Amino acid sequence: MNRKPVVEVIGLGERDLVEARSQAAPVIRAATVLARGGVTILRIGPRGATKQTAIARGEAALTAVRDALVERHDLPAEAYVELDSESYGTPVAPFTDRRFLLPHQDGGHRSFLTPSRLDQPDLDPRERVFSETVYWKRPSHKIYQGFLITNAGDPPGTTCYYNTLTLLWDAFIHRHGRAPDGLSELAMFSMENLRRSKANQATHCSRYLTLGALLGSREIAHHVMPSGPRAESELWPAQYIRLPALCEMADRCPCGSCRGPGERLFCHACAHTLGRTWPEFRRDYEIAVVGDHHDLLIGNNLTQLHAADSQASRTIHPMCIVSDRAEGEAYERWLAAQWRAWYGPLREEPFATQTA
């Protein structure tokens, strides 16, 4: 199994964004890459456009890709393109001008990997919400995460991608000493992990589902999300009080090279759930992308995590394909297909026939 996402650069000209734009060959290709679990970088010409022109073309391009995903890959028709305000990289460590965002999913209060009800029939769609009241900016379910680079920074920032399903698969093997019998067993494992974290939310105080929680750590300290989630971030005093084990984790990690409390905590969670330190995690799972000015980067926000290493001067304009609800027969069938798209060889397990 290939542990790293596939990344494809696709050029889009003005003619691709006019009539029948969802039928344009580059748009169809971008939708196909996304439907198969990959990442697309849309290079939208001309390169010398103003910021506002680039944003308008980026929105048109993502709308065209959304339409092609609906027409060709069964994305629920209620999904729509959502633009957020421009985001600025803020340094958080003293005397530095760079930041590293640890692997996360945008809008993680309700945008994280869950099985389809076709594979896990007892799943309640309400379990796809981790926080109803405390979240970052918008309450929508982000299906495809994307952003237009409005200032690449100097040197240009790097975006990293990781396959969440592969991480879940490897975590299952690390815990049980064997591979799952099929998607149903893996789906059950993921739901057990989600429910454990929800049940302990009053203790760990996180509004996002962390990677350690998703991968099944029974150490509740691994369910704590650093602010941001930035590698340099300190944790909240209340979290140290509730979970004293955090004190040692934030000071010292298994690899001995992590640079801040948030990163060291993440290193502990990786070692516990995957048997890999954070540097080993990066070696085995990470694909790094350096985006150019006005590139539009798009990836599946549920089956992938992303991280970013960038200068404080880097700016991005978030553009996502979202839905106001993550439920219904069309959504469940689309989500089931996302699990199968990555696991290809596991298709010997018959597709479930229950209705959502």
Question: Is 191 a domain residue?
Answer: yes
* pLDDT, averaged across the chain: 89
Decide if 26 is inside a domain.
Answer: yes
Residue 160: phi and psi, rounded to 5, are: -115, 145
312 falls within a domain:
yes
In a domain, 217, yes or no: yes
pLDDT grade for 237, boundaries at 50, 70 and 90: confident
Q: Is residue 354 part of a domain?
A: no
Residue 324 to residue 336: CA distance in whole angstroms: 19
Contact between 115 and 190 under an 8 Å Cβ cutoff? The reply is yes
Average pLDDT over residues 80-85: 93
Domain that residue 240 falls in: 7-348
Cβ–Cβ under 8 Å, residues 161 and 7: yes
Q: Which residue has the higher pLDDT, 229 or 80?
A: 80
Domain CATH number, residue 29: 3.60.130
Which residues, at least 6 apart from 37, have a Cβ–Cβ distance to it below 8 Å?
5, 6, 163, 165, 300, 303, 304, 338, 341, 342
Distance CA 78, CA 55 (A): 23
**E strand map for 214-303:** 287-290, 295-300
Question: What is the pLDDT, as a whole number, of residue 132?
Answer: 82
Measuring CA to CA, which residue among 232, 187, 188, 228 is closest to residue 207? 228
Residue 167 in domain: yes
Residue 353 within any structural domain of the chain: no
- Alpha carbons 341 and 129: distance in angstroms, whole number: 24
Q: What does residue 269 show for φ and ψ, rounded to 5 degrees?
A: -65, -40
| pLDDT at residue 96 greater than cutoff 90 | no
As for how many domains the chain has, the answer is 1
Tens-digit pLDDT profile for residues 289-322: 999 999 999 999 999 999 999 888 889 999 999 9
Mean pLDDT of 266-294: 96
pTM for the model? 0.92
Answer for the pair 330, 74: CB distance below 8 angstroms, yes or no: yes
Instruction: Report the distance separating Cα 344 and Cα 356, nearest Å.
Output: 23
How far separated are the first and last CA of the chain, in Å rounded?
29
Categorize the per-residue pLDDT at 20 as very low, low, confident or very high, splitting at 50, 70 and 90. Answer: low
Examine residue 15 and state whether it is found in any structural domain, yes or no. Answer: yes
